[in-house]
Chain A
Amino acid sequence: DVKVTQSSRYLVKRTGEKVFLECVQDMDHENMFWYRQDPGLGLRLIYFSYDVKMKEKGDIPEGYSVSREKKERFSLILESASTNQTSMYLCASSFPHGGDYTGELFFGEGSRLTVL
C-alpha cells in the first residue's frame, strides 16, 4: 500500500512564526502536492512538484513556499504564519497519468495548523 506520511498531525503556532510541514511518501512517486482544505471550499492546490528541486505554483501559492530536495520528501513552508493560514494541510503523491503530472492522488492524513 502507498503510504504518505505527514510529520505533524496538529500544530499550534503564533503569528509571524516560521512553520515547516513535512511529507514523505514511500512509493517512488514522481509527483507530490500540497493542498489546503477548508470547510465549504474543498481542497485547493498550493504547490506541486514533478521532480526533485522542481516546483510549480498551484491556485493559492501566496504566503507559502516549498522544498523538494529528495524524491520522497516534500516540505511546505510558511515563512511568516498568519491567522488566515489556519487550516488543514494535505500532502499527496502520484505517478503521472499519460502526459499529465496528476494521476490518482494518494493522500496523507493531514496536518491541522492553528495560527494564533
Chain B
Amino acid sequence: ELKVEQNPLFLSMQEGKNYTIYCNYSTTSDRLYWYRQDPGKSLESLFVLLSNGAVKQEGRLMASLDTKARLSTLHITAAVHDLSATYFCAPISSGSARQLTFGSGTQLTVLP
C-alpha cells in the first residue's frame, strides 16, 4: 500500500522568503501530481511529474521528482500572499489498480 507523507503540515512564511515542501512516498511510483486548494475551493492541478529527475516550474513554484529517493519537492521562491493555500502531492500507486494517493496537505500561509 502506498503511503504518502508531506512535511511540513503547516507553514507560515514571510513574503519574499524561500521554502520547500517535501513529499515522501513509500513505494515505487512513476507519476506524481501537485495540487493547490484555496479555502472553500476545489483542488486545482499545478504540475504532473512523469519521470525521475523531472522538474516543472511555473511562476514562483518549482516541483521536482526523484523516483529513486521516492521524494518530490515543491519549492517556493520569494513567496507572495497569493500563494497562501493548501498544497497536496499525489503519487500514483503501482499494481493493478493504479490510483492517486494524496498526502495530508501542507497549509501554507504567507505573511506580509
Contact = CB atoms under 8 A, between A and B. Distances in A.
A109 B42 contact: yes
A107 B98 CA distance: 18
A106 B23 CA distance: 21
Interface in A68-103: 90, 92, 97, 100-102
Interface of B: 4, 9, 31, 33, 41-45, 48, 88, 90, 92, 97-100, 102-105
Main secondary structure of the interface of A (DSSP, over half): strand
A109 B41 contact: yes
A109 B41 CA distance: 6
A106 B45 contact: yes
Q: How large is the interface on A (under 10, 10 to 19, 20 to 34, 35 or more residues)?
A: 20 to 34
Given A42-B88, A106-B45, A100 B4 contact: no
Contacts, number: 48
B104 A40 contact: yes
Nearest to A43: B102
A97 B31 contact: yes
Contacts of B41: 109
Interface of A: 4, 35, 40-45, 48, 56, 58, 90, 92, 97, 100-102, 104-110
Contacts of A42: 4, 88, 102-105
Nearest to A110: B42
Contacts of B4: 42
A109 B103 CA distance: 19
Contacts of A4: 42
B103 A45 contact: no
B104 A105 contact: no
Given A41-B104, A42-B4, A102 B99 contact: yes
